[in-house]
Amino acid sequence: MRALIQRVSKAKVTVDSDTVGEINKGILVLLGITHEDSEKDVDYLVEKIVNLRIFPDKSDHFDLSVTDVGGEILVVSQFTLYGSTKKGRRPAFNDSANPEIAEPLYNLFIDKMRKTGLNTSTGRFGAMMEVELINSGPVTFLLES
């Protein structure tokens, strides 16, 4: 499982011109799922994301988590995180999990993120989405389980 996370001052997801998810200060999570992923991967990444100290303290050091700053989470499914561009000019998505595997794990990730007490918004699994964000920093990390 891969999560590309970005510290944002705000972010939103629209589908067909309708806003389906929106947050203010917090973390945008682009979540990619592969065939071998399980609940163990979900647990690892949820715990890592909510406790990762990527927000500045008064001295401007990365010393506070999204939980510490009362931030929010926006989760967007992103199968292209497992796209391969090694051969040819068209990405291959052989390592991306099929929707039958990916969607339940995506929903489990959201459920577990909400159980942390953080306000959690989402995109729409499988939809063509437009994601707007203001990356604060910019601060971006790729996490893998």
Hey, which residues are catalytic here? 80
CA distance 35 to 125: 17
Residues making up the chain, counted from first to last: 145
Neighbour count for residue 85 (Cβ, 10 Å): 9
**69 vs 11, 27, 44, 53, 64, CA distance in Å?**
16, 11, 21, 10, 7
8-state DSSP, 24: S
CA distance 101 to 104: 6
User: Which one, of 64, 76, 66, 56, lies nearest residue 119 by Cα?
Assistant: 66
Three-state secondary structure call for residue 85: coil
